């Protein structure tokens, strides 16, 4: 019986090449590989055409989806190449790492890990430092600043050499002897399990056993006799098993990269792929891709740039004693030759050519839950498959319309919108609607930015508890959320999302919850906060052909209650509460103007009129009420001037006057520019302030004027310089009776008058 150990670097292209050469030479009877036991059920799919790396094995606890782990693989990962080699040569593969059912069970017995930590060797600080980053220690001895760069130069850039595994084993053996048990609590359990699986393989009569594992673990698998079976069994005793499930899911290079936070990641997956498939021409190929990317972005580039870039990268590699350039040399060459030293252009290539934007694929034959089957069916039927990418893209984007857009008058586009809104309700945010301006609400168009993320796989599984189809799961989840909502704002916002998702089964439940909660809600702030979403539903519900009768009936009860309660709710508020109420008043006013129902506007304006004379109400709110009534021509300009004059009179404290003016001028200064009377009142008030008063009110006044458009501020500056308003032209408004007689017959036709 013979056992050979192959210590590898996860996702290392050089390790893969060396490993396949070594396995071909060794021709083992069985391959033991560092992987959770659950992976065994997934190996039969590895050879399927539709399973395209990068992919990840997702192992999870179906009863607690917070307990889940991903095992990522790329085409150049040594483990993946081992799977393919074993399949082609009909060699059995045994997963030898601690199963996830036991790993998750460890969470339930933290005292076991604590006991192992207590057994760690008492070592010096220097050894402690080595234990934290053993490869980093070796890299520093070789003159490298990081272990990734050192390992790449030593083991991953070569063409592959089976003899390298003896060197790696010797290095790791020396490190493990130096470190001892320091920092090995969890690994002690894992390695005991690995030895248990190796002993079983020996007992089963295999003559030529290949062990493929992370380089760090290789030394403790070298001599089984050095470890007592009884002690290994004691390490594994008492760990409960958690029932788990496993499946393949698509993965991305962005998630393989170290920049994602993945502990076993590599700096440049895209570069490693080139090294694996085309090592001899990798540098040329990479520079050609840089040149092509610069062309696509309309940046200056040529064949000469690519040639000089290759030469510089290879020169740097030669000076540093490297067989081929690494991503460091390539990046330096691009910085010098292509981008002229500008970091921004180097950042351009990072996503596509350093990390890479590649995403894997999983065939339909892989077992998935019913919800995922329905989701994939919807994606196919709605022709959304092309947007299942890791880079952000706009639906239906074109050169002329870079943000594309769905036309909700078209049945297919409407169904796409409803589907994406349903996914968002389930927290699967594949598409995000663009509502930066708010104008999209009033149109027949929606703009969606799409970006697929691998973690959606777990969110889909989690959402599966609510139903077997996207529609069913969304309805059940929404009803659950509605039942647990505490405020009207939560419910109205949820209702608006449900309207967009076209879930009539949930709408009735939500409206009923709204009625119940609105009936017992006494806080007018909650009622005011809930109003805007309801108004938007009523105003734009017809865009999606939504039945809005129930919502309209709810508004008929809420708006009068708001108007009745508002004056008392505004009384005797502190500064923070006044600011909140001020924003609520503006929000309600915008909503009612949008609704444009005369009955509601009338009672609202009457309510605002009752606020004007109440001195217990903060000046900012009263100023806003005055402005709203003036804008809607409920107050005449001379009435507003009288109110303004009193608000800025000497009998009013400077702070109160400043607050009132802030509310009155909120949003626009055109009122002052086009009304000399109002301008003169404000000008006279500011001029009358002494130095202390001016300094007291300046911050508030500055905030008010800073919100005005630049053109408005410029005009006001001119008025201050001139000392008076520029005279506007006066037009002759008298009518020429003879000319009027000419158009009267046509006007009579328009108005159907005899």
Say if pTM beats, i.e. exceeds, 0.85.
Answer: no
Q: Tell me what pLDDT residue 419 has.
A: 96
Task: Name, in order, each residue with C-beta under 8 angstroms of 260's C-beta and a sequence gap of 6 or more.
Answer: 254
| Environment class of 337 (CB within 10 Å of its CB; exposed 0-12, middle 13-18, buried 19+) | buried
- Grouping H, G, I as helix, E, B as strand and the rest as coil, residue 479 is helix
Interatomic CA distance for residues 247 and 230, integer angstroms:
34
HEC assignment per residue over 533-597: HHHHHHHHHHHHCCCCHHHHHHHHHHHHHHHHHHHHHCECCCHHHHHHHHHHHHHHHHHHHHHCC
Interatomic CA distance for residues 528 and 588, integer angstroms:
6
Nearest to 468 by CA among 541, 575, 369, 341: 369
| Environment class of 311 (CB within 10 Å of its CB; exposed 0-12, middle 13-18, buried 19+) | middle
HEC assignment per residue over 320-375: CCCCCCCHHHHHHHHHHHCCCCCHHHHHHHHHHHHHCCCECECCCCCCCCHHHHHH
| Strand pairing class (245-250; 55-61) | antiparallel
Which residues in the chain show pLDDT less than 70? 115-135, 142, 144-148, 155, 157-160, 180-183, 342, 344, 435-443, 541-550, 723-733, 752-754
| Per-residue tokens: 270 | 């895209």
| Per-residue tokens: 365 | 């034959």
Note whether 209 and 28 are within 8 A (CB): yes
Note whether 76 and 16 are within 8 A (CB): yes
238: alpha, beta or left, given left = phi > 0 and alpha = psi -120 to 50?
A: left
Note whether 374 and 467 are within 8 A (CB): no
Q: Tell me what pLDDT residue 311 has.
A: 93
Task: Name, in order, each residue with C-beta under 8 angstroms of 261's C-beta and a sequence gap of 6 or more.
Answer: none
b/e 39-54 (16+ beta carbons within 10 angstroms → b): beebbebbeeeebebb
Interatomic CA distance for residues 744 and 319, integer angstroms:
94
Task: Name, in order, each residue with C-beta under 8 angstroms of 529's C-beta and a sequence gap of 6 or more.
Answer: 487, 488, 489, 492, 584, 587
Q: Tell me what pLDDT residue 159 has.
A: 66
Give the helix ranges, DSSP H, for 45-144: 78-88, 100-106, 110-118, 125-132, 134-141
Q: Tell me what pLDDT residue 637 has.
A: 87
Helix 488-501 and helix 411-425, axial crossing angle in degrees, nearest 10: 140
| Environment class of 717 (CB within 10 Å of its CB; exposed 0-12, middle 13-18, buried 19+) | exposed
Reported as type and span, the H/E element at residue 445 is: strand 445-446
- What residues does each domain of the chain span? 2-112+163-244, 269-355, 370-466, 636-754
One DSSP character per residue, 183-220 reads T-HHHHHHHHHHHHHHHHHHHTT-SEEEEEEEGGGGGG
End-to-end CA distance of the chain: 114
| Environment class of 474 (CB within 10 Å of its CB; exposed 0-12, middle 13-18, buried 19+) | buried
Q: Is the dihedral of CA 182, 187, 189, 193 positive or negative?
A: negative
CA 544 to chain centre: 27
Interatomic CA distance for residues 86 and 28, integer angstroms:
9
């Amino acid at each position: 019986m013979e056992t050979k150990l192959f210590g590898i670097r996860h996702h290392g292209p050089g390790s893969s090449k060396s490993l396949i050469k070594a396995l071909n030479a060794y021709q083992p009877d069985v391959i033991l590989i560092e992987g959770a036991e659950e992976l065994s059920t997934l190996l039969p799919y590895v050879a399927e055409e539709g399973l395209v790396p990068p992919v990840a094995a997702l192992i999870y606890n179906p009863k607690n989806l917070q307990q889940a782990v991903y095992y990522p693989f790329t085409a150049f990962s040594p483990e993946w190449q081992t799977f393919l080699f074993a399949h082609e040569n009909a060699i059995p593969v045994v997963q030898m790492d601690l199963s996830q059912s036991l790993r998750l069970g460890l969470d339930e017995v933290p005292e076991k890990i604590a006991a192992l930590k207590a057994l760690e060797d008492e070592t010096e600080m220097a050894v402690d430092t080595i234990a934290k980053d053993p490869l980093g220690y070796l890299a520093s001895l070789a003159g490298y600043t990081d272990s990734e760069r050192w390992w790449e130069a030593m083991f991953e850039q070569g063409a592959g050499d089976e003899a390298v595994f003896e060197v790696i084993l010797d290095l790791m053996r020396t490190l493990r002897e130096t470190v001892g048990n320091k920092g090995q609590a969890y690994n002690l359990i894992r390695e005991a399990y690995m030895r248990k699986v190796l002993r079983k393989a020996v007992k089963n009569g295999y003559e030529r056993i290949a062990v493929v594992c992370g380089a760090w673990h290789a030394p403790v698998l070298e001599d089984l006799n050095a470890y007592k079976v009884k002690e290994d069994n004691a390490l594994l005793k008492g760990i409960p098993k958690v029932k788990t499930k496993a499946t393949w899911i698509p993965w991305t290079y962005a998630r393989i990269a170290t920049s994602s936070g993945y502990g076993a990641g590599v700096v440049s997956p895209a570069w490693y792929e080139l090294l694996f498939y085309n090592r001899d021409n990798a540098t040329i190929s990479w520079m050609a891709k840089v040149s092509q990317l610069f062309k696509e972005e309309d940046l200056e580039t040529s064949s000469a740039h690519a040639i000089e870039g290759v030469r510089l990268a290879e020169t740097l590699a030669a000076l540093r004693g490297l067989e081929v350039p690494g991503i460091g040399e390539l990046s330096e060459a691009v910085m010098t030759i292509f981008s002229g030293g500008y970091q921004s252009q180097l950042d351009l290539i990072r996503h596509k050519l350093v990390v890479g934007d590649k995403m894997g694929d999983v065939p339909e034959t892989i077992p998935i839950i019913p919800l995922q089957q329905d989701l994939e069916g919807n994606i196919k039927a709605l022709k959304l498959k092309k947007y299942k990418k890791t880079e952000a893209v706009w639906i239906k984007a074109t050169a002329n319309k870079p943000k594309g857009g769905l036309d909700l008058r078209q049945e297919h586009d409407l169904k796409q919108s409803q589907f994406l809104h349903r996914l968002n309700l389930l927290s699967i945010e594949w598409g995000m609607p663009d509502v930066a301006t708010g104008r999209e609400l009033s149109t027949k168009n929606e703009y969606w930015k799409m970006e697929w993320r691998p973690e959606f796989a777990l969110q889909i599984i989690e959402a599966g508890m609510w139903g077997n189809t996207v529609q069913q799961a969304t309805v059940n989840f929404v009803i659950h959320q509605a039942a647990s909502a505490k405020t009207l704002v939560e419910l109205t916002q949820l209702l608006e999302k449900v309207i967009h998702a076209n879930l009539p089964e949930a709408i009735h439940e939500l409206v009923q919850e709204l009625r119940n909660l609105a009936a017992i809600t006494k806080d007018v702030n909650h009622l005011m906060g809930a109003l805007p979403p309801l108004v938007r539903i009523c105003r734009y519900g017809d865009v999606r052909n939504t039945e809005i009768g129930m919502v309209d009936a709810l508004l008929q009860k809420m708006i009068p209650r708001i108007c009745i309660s508002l004056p008392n709710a505004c009384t005797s508020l502190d500064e923070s509460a006044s600011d909140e109420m001020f924003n609520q008043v503006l929000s309600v006013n915008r909503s009612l103007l949008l609704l444009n129902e005369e009955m509601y506007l009338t009672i609202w304006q009457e309510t605002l009129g009752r606020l004007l004379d109440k001195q217990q109400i903060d000046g900012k709110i009263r100023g806003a009420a005055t402005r709203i009534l003036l804008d809607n021509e409920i107050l005449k300009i001379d009435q507003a001037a009288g109110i303004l004059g009193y608000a800025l009179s000497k009998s009013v404290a400077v702070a109160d006057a400043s607050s009132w003016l802030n509310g009155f001028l909120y949003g626009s200064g055109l009122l002052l520019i086009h009304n000399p009377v109002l301008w003169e009142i404000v000008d006279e008030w500011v001029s009358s302030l002494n130095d202390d008063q001016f300094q007291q009110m300046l911050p508030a006044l500055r905030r008010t004027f800073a919100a005005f458009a630049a053109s408005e501020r410029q005009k006001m500056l001119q008025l201050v310089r001139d000392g008076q308003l520029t005279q506007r032209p006066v037009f002759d408004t008298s009518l020429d009776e003879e000319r009027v007689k000419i158009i009267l017959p046509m006007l009579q036709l328009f108005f159907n008058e005899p």
